[in-house]
Amino acid sequence: MLKTRGGFFVAAHTIRYRQPVMMFSTYKVLTRPIWWDKKYIYYDHRIITLADGVIRSIGYSKSCCDSFDVEEFINGIHPGVDKPQMPDDMVKWLEFNKASSDRMKRCLTEKETESTCKSKQG
């Protein structure tokens, strides 16, 4: 990665809070890659309060690589690792992101106003 001067940037992120994280409470964030393809790594994030071990939120993010093949990168640092199956809820999350992106592109290409674009949802 450093040799190619490449890097990752966030392409999408969604988080859902099951319970609030109260101000000044201590917590940890667990992040793990759960799927990847040639261009993206998909992560699962969980915020867990330390006092009670409760999972307060679960989120997904999608990081894009701008200059190298992600699958080759992962195989280079973890030879022989098996790519997991994409979780069902992530498939739905990606479908939502695609629909949202298509809608945004349509609004931008049609140069519509905010109120006009809102009225054409779907």
Query: Up-side HSE of residue 118: CA atoms within 13 Å toward CB?
Result: 3
CATH 1.10.10, applies to 8-112: no
Q: CA 58, 13, 84 angle in degrees (round to 5)?
A: 70
pTM listed for this prediction:
0.75
Beta-sheet strand order (sheet of 55-65): 8-17, 55-65, 40-49, 27-36
The predicted-structure confidence for 8-48, as pLDDT tens digits, reads as follows 888 899 999 999 999 999 999 999 999 999 899 999 999 99
Q: What is the pLDDT of residues 61-92, one digit of tens each?
A: 999 988 788 888 888 888 988 888 999 999 99
Asked if 45 contacts 30 with a C-beta cutoff of 8 angstroms, the reply is yes
Tokens of 54: 């409760």
Q: Which residue has the tokens 């049609």?
A: 110
At 1, the pLDDT band (50, 70, 90 cuts) reads very low
Separation of alpha carbons 118 and 103, rounded Å: 10
